[in-house]
Structure 1
Amino acid sequence: MEEWNIGRKEEGRRLDAFLMERKGWSRSFFMKALRTKKIKVNGKKMEPSYRLMEGDAVRSFVLEIKKSRPVDILYEDENLLAVNKPAGLLSLDVTGRTEDTMLDRVNSFLAERGEKTAYPVHRIDFNTSGILLLAKNGRAGEILDRMIKERKIRKSYLCVVKGRPSPDKGRLENQLFKDAKKNRVYVAEHTVKGSKTAITDYRVVASRNGLSLVECHLLTGRTHQIRCQMAHAGHPLLGDDKYGSKEWNREKGERRQLLSSYKTTFDFGEEGGLLSYLSGKTIRLSRVPFVEKYFKGVEI
């Protein structure tokens, strides 16, 4: 909380002008703070046009906006924002314990432009990089959420695995069940209590020095799907301690799984409603650092 005691010099100034100048806020940001009762004068909510009086106590309960960190924007319009989330960063934090998430960075960036907040319609694991979609309004969010559930937004991943999968192109289909306490997923060849079907199509893009660059397309969206299925097939992701070999990962100098959501394609048509204009559009990363490190010269 911040508080200002109004003196003679500030007397007669409008509340909105005083705070916008003092804090460097945009008018839209100030109005949102006022509307959500985060600005009070003498303990009461006032109109933007309220004229300050000597002795007034102006209080702000707005969390201080930090200077936004760089945000790699891949695509943006009035409904949708697609950003490149780096590995080692949470998509969002519902507990409120983490100050720096991809969502925080995006909304800090939008606040500096005087725009409304956005929110992600899906998540990407902490140690996974790649394309994160955020809705800029409620209607767009509803549509994106429905299209994701109906598998009409295709997400393709790149990963580096041990060895070379055979055949070079195929499908992995298993039953996965999650141990919530261990935050670990296990693979079963047949249906067991609590298991769900997981289907991943894969294609070997290149192989070098005992490693393969593999493109994976998710037909289902299960927790740790690519990581546990590839490991079960005998090809754990490089850097993945949970499903692979920690010793091997350290020998290679990797501490995070080399996995990136590098391409997103919108496969819906008119059923996309407000977002039908996105039909057939593909958003992709122009570069993936681990591809350049281990498979320099390979086009993705």
Structure 2
Amino acid sequence: METFKIGPKDEGKRLDQFMQDKKHWPRSLVMKAIRTKKLKVNGKKEDASFRLSRRDDVVSYVLEEKKNTEPVILYEDENLLAAVKPAGLLSLDPEGKEKDTLLTRVNKYLEGKGKAPAIPVHRIDFHTEGILLFAKNRPAADVLEGLIRDRKIGKTYLAVVTGRVQNSKGRLEHQLFKDAKQNKVFVSEERIKGSKTAITEYERMAATGDLTLVKCHLITGRTHQIRTQLAHIGHPILGDDKYGFKALNKEYKERGQLLCAYQLSFDFTEEGGILSYLSGKTIRLPKVAFVHKYFSGVHY
């Protein structure tokens, strides 16, 4: 049993939305919990649309499966490590409200080895799988942050998009504007107030039916960059309800975006400082599950 006391920030929220925000549950799990009376408000069964009030008690009787919180480490040396962030897990939580993040998992791993806590140097969207770098000391963190800022660490993503991408290669350059109230990013062909330039290079890897596998290389690193730019050209990522086609996502039974930051490459010389030994190195995920699901046999 788990109890949540409703405070000012959550007052007025629908019950289903509150549980999705609080526990990151898929909507199907929330609805099942309500239907089976395993989710109650002040001891009573309420509908998904029930609006919560301050000091309400939301009680969950859902027994969640014990998570495997051991981080997958792809690379590690005395200065840094590269870990895999699963989709549906926060990279980190600066506010300290979420106990389970990739950072807390990495720190637990390092604590077991008698090492100091890691220093995060970048992050990935909650719904995106991929490789994250963590520094193991302040000098390494300073170098990594500088390399990322100066685009000396290449970030390559794989995505399954809807529709058949016609061009074998392309370069997308747009203006992105984030609406904080809607928590959504909008794309413009022209510069507008508050917008930032976003550049993504892409390559078509394979196509089948009404789906295409694309490889994307980030030239800039804006919020929701790949998701919004691909959607803007008519090829939203499968499973992305925010920017894509909900009906098609439902048809394929994909509840999360099929996007993975699967490769990091170090490309620098004198800028590397104490990490100069990494120049030319590539860290890559050996397997991306959604690629094998829809494009088995494709080499990436």
TM-score (structure 2 length as normaliser): 0.77
1:218-266 Cα deviation digits (max 9, x unpaired): 1001100000000000000000000001121111100111000001000
Contact preservation (8 Å) 1:68, 1:108: no
Shift of 1:167: 1.1
CA deviation vs aligned residue, 1:114-157 (integer Å, no higher than 9, x gap): 11110210000000001000000000000000000100000000
Write out aligned runs for 1:10-159 (5 A): 69-159=69-159
* 1:109 alignment partner, SS class: helix
Cα displacement (A) at 1:68: 8.1
Describe the SS at the equivalent of 1:116.
coil
What do residues 157-192 of structure 1 show as CA deviations (whole Å, max 9, x unaligned)? 000001122211010111111101211100111010
Match of 1:171 in 2: 171
The answer to whether the 8 A contact 1:163-1:212 is kept is yes
Tell me the equivalent position of 2:190. 190
AA partner of residue 179 (structure 2) = D
Superposed, 1:237-276 pairs within 5 Å as 237-276=237-276
Any gaps of 5 or more consecutive residues in structure 2?
1-66
For structure 1, the 5+ residue unaligned runs are 1-66
Quick one: distance in 2 between partners of 1:268 and 1:180?
35
Matched residue SS, 1:268: coil
Q: CA-to-partner distance for each residue in 1:19-68, whole Å, 9 max, x for gaps?
A: xxxxxxxxxxxxxxxxxxxxxxxxxxxxxxxxxxxxxxxxxxxxxxxx98
Q: How high is the TM-score relative to the length of structure 1?
A: 0.77
CA contact (8 A) 2:174 2:199 kept: yes
**Structure 2 letter corresponding to 1:123:** R
Q: For 1:165 and 1:119, how far apart are their aligned partners in 2?
A: 39
1:249–1:255 Cα contact (<8 Å) kept: yes
Q: CA–CA distance in 2 between the matches of 1:159 and 1:199?
A: 16
Aligned length, in residue pairs: 234
Misfit runs of 4+, over 6 Å: none
Distance of 2:274 and 2:214 partners within structure 1: 34
Are 2:202 and 2:214, in contact at CA under 8 Å, matched by a contact in 1?
Answer: yes
Q: Does residue 285 of structure 1 match 2:285? A: yes
Aligned partners of 1:228 and 1:243 also within 8 Å? yes
- Mapping of residues 188-227 of structure 1, within 5 Å: 188-227=188-227
Partners of 1:85 and 1:168 in 2: how far apart?
Answer: 29
Distance 2:164 2:222 in 1: 24
**1:156 aligns to what SS in structure 2?**
strand
Q: Which residue of 2 aligns with 1:228?
A: 228
Amino acid at match of 2:96: G
Name the SS for the 2:197 alignment partner. strand
Match of 1:41 in 2: none
The code of the aligned residue for 1:298 comes to V
Give the alignment's Cα RMSD to 1 decimal.
1.1
1:204 is paired with a residue whose SS is strand
Matched residue SS, 2:191: coil
Q: Quick one: which amino acid aligns to residue 220 of structure 2?
A: T
Match of 2:33 in 1: none
